[in-house]
Structure 1
Amino acid sequence: MSVPMGPRAREAALRRLAEDEFDVLVVGGGVVGAGVALDAVSRGLSVALVEARDLAAGTSSRSSKLIHGGLRYLEQLDFRLVREALRERGLLVTRLAPHLVRPVPFLLPLRHRVWERGYVGAGVLLYDTLGGARVLPRHRQLSHSRALREAPGLRSDALVGAIQYYDAQVDDARFTMTVARTAMQYGACVTTRAKVTGFLRDTLSEGGGQVVGALVRDLESGAELRVRARQVINATGVWTDEIQRLAGASPGSRGSVTVQASKGVHLVVPREKIRLDTGLILRTEKSVLFVIPWGPHWIVGTTDTPWDLDKVEPAPTRADIDYILEHVNAVLRTPLTHDDIEGVYAGLRPLLAGSAARSQTVKLSREHAVIRPEPGLVIVAGGKYTTYRVMAKDAVDVAVAGLGQKVPASVTDRVPVLGAAGFEALRNNRRRLAGRAGLPVARVEHLLGRYGSCVEEVLALVEADPGLGDPIPGAEGYLKAEAVYAVTHEGALHLEDVLVRRTRVFIEERDHGLVAAPVVAALIAPALGWDDDRVRAEIDAYRSGVEADLAAQREIDDTAANAVRLAAAAPADQVA
């Protein structure tokens, strides 16, 4: 059984934050921060992680949801990055998270008859053999007619042939949360809605001013905590510059890093709107565009534009949506329209800024950097979702050097995340599980792909209360038990946490979860101790966030969309 990450666990974590001294304090609950916590605790270190919002609330819930080597980086001759990412992809698919990371075929249309097939084919052949690539099927060369059989929704004149290759897919928010839960399973103290407001310093240390912890505000109660730690690791992604300033360092100065945020927008459309039996990757004048299978939906994206406005809720605009539609419709027999769109989301990539011009974010580095701007503080920045584990390992290696003691090397390449152990055996027994819970086999298969071997904990809720085995009205892809489990075991503290990240109701339903919101709020209220007023406040805050998001999407430029989005405070902030 897993260690529950529920309200009682949070209370215990807050007590530990106030009372204990930790070897490592991690700031940031995205995938890199969660990975740092797991890496450090699995080496035998005492670890705390604090996140100002929810786990994966930023970049780590708004990616393309791919675990991939980055085929386009081969064209940039960045072989080291591709090899590293492919090795990590192989580990995740086969050992670390086979329940959450699964192979997906992609079709790469060709437009030129001779040179392009040889040129692109050579690159994809290399992609098949670097790092851990061999764990997935090899690419196939397809003729024009064979390609159209795989993708009948493509225009006949959009290609002369194609290459089909494999990458992998993940629910990025669930994976991040699961890594954090795994760290907690091994003893890490994980606390969300806990914001770092400053750093503690030992003025008596050699040289003076060594960082020895952080000032943390519990955003739920307003309480101020002094969290002591021998090393602090900052893993806040696009907020890296702000944390450096908080520590007294100037981004861009010697011994610091500068992170440029790049906005990526994705659309979600129904599966029947695009007739494909495979994912799709298209070249654009700026980057690439993916059409990615997502259950009964497609995810279509992404954009790549610089962003220097509000980082909490980056806003997609009408121009972003039109750009994506224009490029995908250039190859589709039946064009997508605005009416086909079920959901839109925007995320920010934390790119290491160098000498490239601000307008050229597509050319900025996807490499990562680990620095120690001052004693006691380590900063990890940049990188890509797929290589989170390597980033975490490198950050902990630097922090360990400041502990002055012998610490084992990283073992996370051999530590499966929660739900991986026993997953395949349970998947083979899915009919028995379905019969025991009184659920369709297809539903249990879906649950196994979300929870792995932890599915038995979800099914136990259904066995105790059969009504929790019913689908959520307005979000029938999810069971009522999943909303309850999100609060009792997965650390959700607000209605937004459940509808946006523990499930994907916000982007998968045309009404963005407004019908489901009252049902889910009533389901989770008892576990969170909410009264009727608090339930209404959570529903109102969620509705306000949805309306602001839709209003922003009608604006044509970033500045106008950002202003509209800021007019409505983040749902959780309204009710904390």
Structure 2
Amino acid sequence: MSEYTGPASAPPLEPTRESSPGSVLGPRHRAAALRSLGEHEFDVLVVGGGVVGAGAALDAVSRGLSVALVEARDLAAGTSSRSSKLIHGGLRYLEQFDFRLVREALKERGLLTTRLAPHLVRPVSFLYPLHHRVWERFYVGAGITLYDTLAGRWGLRRHRQLSLRRTLEKAPGLRKDALVGAIQYYDAQVDDARFTMMVARTAAQYGACVTTRTPVIGFLREGARVTGARVRDLESGAEIEVRAREVINATGVWTDELQRMAGVEGTATARPTEGVSVQASKGVHIVVPRERIRLDTGLILRTEKSVLFVIPWGPHWIVGTTDTAWDLDKAEPSATNTDIEYILDHVNAVLNTPLTTDDIEGVYVGLRPLIGRSGASTVKLSREHAVTRPLPGLTVVAGGKYTTYRIMAKDAVDAAVGNLGEAVPPSITERVPIIGATGFEAVRNNKRRLAERAGLSAGRVEHLLHRYGSRTEELLEIVAMAPGLGEPIPGAEGYLRVEAVYAASHEGALRLEDVLVRRTRIFIEERDHGLEASQEVAVLLAPVLGWDDDRVKQEIDEYRQYVQADTAARREPDDAAANAVRLRGLTPSEAMS
């Protein structure tokens, strides 16, 4: 990794174009939002910047309410950036006869792929390998037929039965003796962190006050009623009292901690007068190069515990996941060597050429917020969500799955506004496109013209379109002002320099980690986890975020420590050891001393 040489190479530019001013989550928006937090009483304060919190903010503000959203770290810093990145009904829930949940999720999948976010959510095909010639084809086929039927008018392409020969044509990387045929069906995928951020930007566009690095450190009370929260701005250290008529706790796996802060004890029964208990389930995924698995489609495999997906991800595959209880650090859960071996063992059982640890480009770990009791098997805990009112002025929403975030947000806002004492319009988010969706098809149809005008390849513009939608034109206008920003990032050539600048100027990124881990996926896509790219990206962020030389070096050093700690932790055999190494932030050599 080259040595940082100072900001001389930084572009003389701070983008300021604001075609939709409220949606630009840049430094000026944050400064104004922090002032607003302390100066106004909001109708609704949403705590938690994951997809459910962002969705609740959008739901509430689109009903005409004044809304603030506060997040302790970064948008989607927790579960909402670490999922399997699928938008799906959940085939395995059919076996649990949870038809309502599957149908609800399939409708949401249809809305996202056609109306709300077609630039971010795209159909993807999967093979379901069969191992028995007659009964399994009938049994699985009947289940997937029901899956397609439950989708109704929101369905994607219908499934197909494939012979062994046709299966191997689509998946030559599979062992011939590992299956007798397959069924091909369709679901959808998403970059979960980008989607969450775009939902938050959409809420801001309609007037929501959105801030990150502002954790809640206490709740405001008037008698038994919750009347707001006290937050700390981690950038300045200032404490702000945020007053609100209703507060929504949408903090996922941190639900119990926020409830205790408000004086509520969790319970798995989730009655309206009680809190709700959330059990974290750890899901580990690995990322490997596309050429290492010869497939033309995604793959779903049954395991003794759950399912394992092989998911196409640009020039990579995502393989996962695990499902084990987790009760250690929630901010940075750790993969272990045991987790990785589990994934490799199961996927290698069907591959002609087995994967090894040397093939792994990246690893990421997420925590699912499941409703249930501590110590219960996380495979059996509910994926449905609960909305409770444990105290006057406080609504808690927990559980659920990424696909149904909009329903969860709607239910939470419904519960909260029912206590405002005035008529509030019903939810309209079923008809509110996410930023970048409006005009997406027209812009995509003009991608060749856009590419020629910007001096980029059509492939580059296609990449931008599926990350920014119709807002791609904003990035191309920035490139027109500073052509050097149209060049790839050294060490992460899949991304352009302008994307790093735009992450800070428009997408709320405040740290180097925000850009490398969530606004882009450099952390999991590059073998060095973005260490080489961190040099250039930090320089690009400096003029936008007002960093001096010392701050640039600090950001690079902190990111290096982040990568080293993550790498060291996954060499450990169990959760406790991996978590200890991850928290200490030690390099591999230091961990052994």
TM bucket, shorter chain: over 0.9
1:256 Cα deviation after fit? 1.3
Q: Map of 1:141-540 to 2, 5 A cutoff?
A: 141-202=161-222, 208-252=223-267, 255-354=274-373, 358-540=375-557
Unaligned runs of 5+ in 2: 1-18, 587-593
1:131 Cα deviation after fit? 3.5
Unaligned runs of 5+ in 1: 203-207, 570-576
In 2, Cα distance between equivalents of 1:33 and 1:512? 28
Q: Contact conserved, 1:214 with 1:227, CA < 8 A, in 2?
A: yes
Structure 1 counterpart SS, 2:531: coil
In 2, Cα distance between equivalents of 1:215 and 1:209? 17
In 1, Cα distance between equivalents of 2:205 and 2:29? 12
Letter in 1 for 2:367: L
Say whether 1:548 aligns with 2:568: no
What is the TM-score of this pair, normalised by structure 1? 0.97
Say whether 1:5 aligns with 2:20: no
Letter in 2 for 1:210: R
Say whether 1:47 aligns with 2:64: no
1:360 Cα deviation after fit? 1.1
Q: Contact conserved, 2:109 with 2:154, CA < 8 A, in 1?
A: no
Q: Contact conserved, 2:301 with 2:308, CA < 8 A, in 1?
A: yes
Equivalence for 1:69: 89
Alpha-carbon displacement from aligned partner over 1:211-251 (angstroms, at most 9, x marks no partner)? 11000111111100000000000000000000010000111
Say whether 1:125 aligns with 2:142: no
1:4 Cα deviation after fit? 1.2
1:252 Cα deviation after fit? 1.8
Q: Contact conserved, 2:475 with 2:502, CA < 8 A, in 1?
A: yes
Q: Contact conserved, 1:86 with 1:133, CA < 8 A, in 2?
A: no
Letter in 2 for 1:555: E
In 2, Cα distance between equivalents of 1:417 and 1:187? 14
Q: CA RMSD in A?
A: 1.0
What is the number of residues matched between the two proteins?
Answer: 562
Letter in 1 for 2:123: P
1:133 Cα deviation after fit? 6.3
Equivalence for 1:38: 58
In 2, Cα distance between equivalents of 1:10 and 1:122? 52
In 2, Cα distance between equivalents of 1:169 and 1:309? 29
Query: Which portions of structure 1, spanning 4 or more consecutive aligned residues, are displaced by more than 3 angstroms?
Result: 131-135
Q: Contact conserved, 2:299 with 2:309, CA < 8 A, in 1?
A: yes
Alpha-carbon displacement from aligned partner over 1:143-191 (angstroms, at most 9, x marks no partner)? 0110010100000011101000000000000000000000000000000
Letter in 1 for 2:234: L
Q: Contact conserved, 2:282 with 2:326, CA < 8 A, in 1?
A: yes
Alpha-carbon displacement from aligned partner over 1:278-308 (angstroms, at most 9, x marks no partner)? 0000000000000000000000000000000
In 2, Cα distance between equivalents of 1:129 and 1:363? 26
In 1, Cα distance between equivalents of 2:261 and 2:152? 40
In 2, Cα distance between equivalents of 1:39 and 1:170? 21
What is the TM-score of this pair, normalised by structure 2? 0.94
In 2, Cα distance between equivalents of 1:82 and 1:132? 12
Structure 2 counterpart SS, 1:194: coil
In 2, Cα distance between equivalents of 1:209 and 1:302? 42
In 1, Cα distance between equivalents of 2:513 and 2:69? 21
1:134 Cα deviation after fit? 4.4
Equivalence for 2:131: 111
Alpha-carbon displacement from aligned partner over 1:347-393 (angstroms, at most 9, x marks no partner)? 00000005xx7251011000000000010000000000000000000
Equivalence for 1:573: none
Q: Contact conserved, 2:213 with 2:234, CA < 8 A, in 1?
A: yes
Q: Contact conserved, 1:89 with 1:133, CA < 8 A, in 2?
A: no
Q: Contact conserved, 2:130 with 2:179, CA < 8 A, in 1?
A: yes
In 2, Cα distance between equivalents of 1:559 and 1:286? 22
Q: Contact conserved, 2:106 with 2:154, CA < 8 A, in 1?
A: no
Q: Contact conserved, 2:51 with 2:199, CA < 8 A, in 1?
A: yes
Equivalence for 1:100: 120
In 2, Cα distance between equivalents of 1:176 and 1:294? 18
In 2, Cα distance between equivalents of 1:170 and 1:252? 33
1:466 Cα deviation after fit? 0.3
In 2, Cα distance between equivalents of 1:135 and 1:80? 16
In 1, Cα distance between equivalents of 2:34 and 2:152? 40
In 1, Cα distance between equivalents of 2:25 and 2:84? 27
1:326 Cα deviation after fit? 0.1
Q: Contact conserved, 2:111 with 2:154, CA < 8 A, in 1?
A: no
**Percent of paired sites with the same residue:** 77
Q: Contact conserved, 1:193 with 1:219, CA < 8 A, in 2?
A: yes
Greater mean deviation of Cα atoms: 163-172 or 359-368: 359-368
Structure 2 counterpart SS, 1:362: coil
1:406 Cα deviation after fit? 0.2
Letter in 2 for 1:409: P
Say whether 1:78 aligns with 2:82: no
